[in-house]
Amino acid sequence: MSTLSIRTAACAAAVAGAVLVPLLPAQAHAAGSVHLHKIYYDSPGTDDRSTRSLNAEYVQIKNSTSRGVNLRGWTLTDASRHKYTFGTFTLGAGKTVTVRTGRGKDSASTKYQNRRAYVWNNDRDTATLRKSSGSRVDTCSYNSTRYDYKNC
């Protein structure tokens, strides 16, 4: 095989690998955990600070345990230390809660930060979930403008 053929084959393999990497599944979490599930950091359309736009920016937290978990006092923060603190709230077994940036009425499946400005950067940021004691439960980072969300 000539040097040119080897280089061509190596380049083709590198390109194929780069194309396939985004198709790999997101990091798996151990069964029986409360963890960050998804960050939708770039809401669709123009960032106009409307309630609709702010609420399209959110983080989902999943409870994959077989019991409800009391999240009272738990916090969700970004790299700039914007903080959302859960009030009295139990995340049911196998359930997911969505924490939206904007305003709305809290429910069992959706919480609102009641902010009038965006929290999650459109290019890179890190979400951190902590217990009321301050111990870190999970983190999830992204570094891309190519996508609007990150599965954690």
Residue 20 pLDDT grade (very low, low, confident, very high; cuts 50, 70, 90): very low
Residue 12 pLDDT grade (very low, low, confident, very high; cuts 50, 70, 90): very low
84 closest CA partner among 50, 120, 109: 120
pLDDT greater than 70 at residue 15: no
- Report the pLDDT value the prediction gives residue 28, as an integer from 0 to 100: 52
Can you read off the two tokens belonging to residue 127?
């979400």
- Report the pLDDT value the prediction gives residue 14, as an integer from 0 to 100: 46
Q: Per residue in 92-140, pLDDT tens?
A: 999 999 999 999 999 999 999 999 999 999 999 999 999 999 999 999 9
Can you read off the two tokens belonging to residue 73?
């006092």
The bridge status of strand 136-143 relative to strand 83-85 is unpaired
Which one-letter amino acid corresponds to residue 11?
Answer: C
- Report the pLDDT value the prediction gives residue 30, as an integer from 0 to 100: 53
